[in-house]
Structure 1
């Protein structure tokens, strides 16, 4: 059953919203007469339960290790009889995409719940907790996380369906989330994995070389087009041997932006092999999704 990603700024109330959802889910399971619903078990995954300090966000290496720990904990319990509430900032778009792939690989739906507390309110709440000595993020870490936060976008496959919870709402749209993820009779839509999301060990000869070379070739096609059409955006760039074209955003992406997207794609697919013949098409698809969000 579903993976529910909680996302929001630091100190936005993500755990509070997670516990509201968990209470609602447990009540629905208890009250249901449907066998498929009765056997569901709710799992709450958060930094605290994994023993992760908020100081891990002060440097890239411990933060990367923390994300790996968080992801591994989700994968251990994610199955068709589980509702997994992943209570973290989940602020990196590529990380949400990775977890979306994990959900599809076990044929279970997923959604994102965006805790929409404004930055100033989050900063105020964080300062109060810090002063009380009850946790919170150090000021520098807080501001850095806010700066790097990549807000969920329901137009992206991995962020859909997207449920936003304004800070003034008494509770999340629990019933709507339940219907979308579980269904009234426990027969929610079955998710079928596809070539883009099935995770399997890298096995094809020279796979990493092809992953690196093919993604470089796609960026080269974009750079060549930009050199021929300086300053233009919102155009269609044809890529040799790709089934579809790249649709550039209105504001043309810079080289550092393109390289960052390429590194994200390679990082997501380094350990689980795509068919070499599919790398080009899937990278084009990944770029188009990123440009639309």
Structure 2
């Protein structure tokens, strides 16, 4: 149910803290689910540096992360979002989502000296490091969390050489009541009949193409018609799975409407993520 949002500039130790928190909460007999920005980028087939130079691709990844997080905060587990999460508006959206689901939340800001951060980045493998252009852009764009903002609070700041107060984080998440939903955090009813029609037709078309591929006894990754970069492993999905996942995606999209042009790509990504 609770959510921990990790945030910080590149190479500030977010993933290290994520693993530290995971081990701590597992010892407390809590189920832990990690939603990783790096893993989501890899699954999407995008190159990391190109993501942050293309606002549409970056927005697409944020939409997938938000969808993945809110899919899990409705159950009785702990979700840790490991990523840059540098946009305060995105953190606010997550706050609204957890609040509407009556879940507690906290933010952990991994802080680090910029020169030290760049040295760590520069020592990484070529496939893992940020280019100087992208690194500088991300540092410039970074919107530091503020504990006075309700969507960033409670806020914990941690430097690489400091010990994380995990007991206090545990108390914050599990010993306090979640904030009550209000009009600002509840989703307004969806009224666009065009959107509902597009949502129904787009998902139905993709499901039909996958069923057709299965009937042709195709195996492995199959391209979704009309989308050059969208593939799904048809051997991993059954027809009942498709129907169930389509219903789930439609229900979620009615409450959290995506851009109409992204319905199909987000649905395919949702299928791949769910099947994985």
Normalising to structure 2: TM-score of the pair? 0.65
**Structure-1 separation of matches of 2:178 and 2:54:** 39
Q: Classify the secondary structure of the residue corresponding to 2:169.
A: helix
| Corresponding residue to 1:71 among 36, 48, 66 | 66
**Structure-2 separation of matches of 1:141 and 1:8:** 15
| Corresponding residue to 2:133 among 135, 140, 143 | 140
**Structure-2 separation of matches of 1:47 and 1:91:** 12
Q: Classify the secondary structure of the residue corresponding to 2:151.
A: helix
What's the CA shift for 1:48?
3.1
State the Cα deviation string for residues 98-141 of structure 1 (Å, max 9, x = none).
00000001000111000011211111111111xx3351211111
| Corresponding residue to 1:203 among 175, 184, 191 | 191
**Pair 1:49-2:62 in alignment:** no
**Pair 1:192-2:180 in alignment:** yes
Residue 15 of structure 1 corresponds to which residue in structure 2? 15
**Structure-1 separation of matches of 2:120 and 2:129:** 9
What's the CA shift for 1:203?
3.4
**Structure-1 separation of matches of 2:38 and 2:136:** 21
| Conserved? CA contact 1:165–1:173, under 8 Å | no
| Conserved? CA contact 1:11–1:136, under 8 Å | no
What's the CA shift for 1:80?
4.1
Q: Classify the secondary structure of the residue corresponding to 1:144.
A: helix
| Corresponding residue to 1:152 among 142, 145, 150 | 145
Q: Classify the secondary structure of the residue corresponding to 1:135.
A: coil
Residue 28 of structure 1 corresponds to which residue in structure 2? 28
Q: Classify the secondary structure of the residue corresponding to 2:91.
A: helix
Q: Classify the secondary structure of the residue corresponding to 1:163.
A: strand
**Structure-1 separation of matches of 2:37 and 2:123:** 20
Q: CA RMSD in A?
A: 2.2
What's the CA shift for 1:16?
0.5
**Structure-2 separation of matches of 1:79 and 1:122:** 35
Q: Classify the secondary structure of the residue corresponding to 2:69.
A: helix
State the Cα deviation string for residues 244-284 of structure 1 (Å, max 9, x = none).
xxxxxxxxxxxxxxxxxxxxxxxxx9959xxxxxxxxxxxx
**Structure-1 separation of matches of 2:82 and 2:256:** 26
Residue 93 of structure 1 corresponds to which residue in structure 2? 88
What's the CA shift for 1:158?
0.3
| Corresponding residue to 2:157 among 151, 156, 164 | 164
Residue 237 of structure 2 corresponds to which residue in structure 1? none
What's the CA shift for 1:47?
2.0
**Structure-2 separation of matches of 1:143 and 1:49:** 22
**Structure-2 separation of matches of 1:182 and 1:54:** 35
Which runs of 5 or more residues in structure 1 are unaligned? 30-39, 205-268, 273-293
| Conserved? CA contact 1:80–1:108, under 8 Å | no
Which runs of 5 or more residues in structure 2 are unaligned? 193-254, 259-276
User: What is the number of residues matched between the two proteins?
Assistant: 192
Residue 179 of structure 1 corresponds to which residue in structure 2? 171
| Conserved? CA contact 2:112–2:160, under 8 Å | yes
Q: Classify the secondary structure of the residue corresponding to 1:74.
A: helix
What's the CA shift for 1:161?
0.3
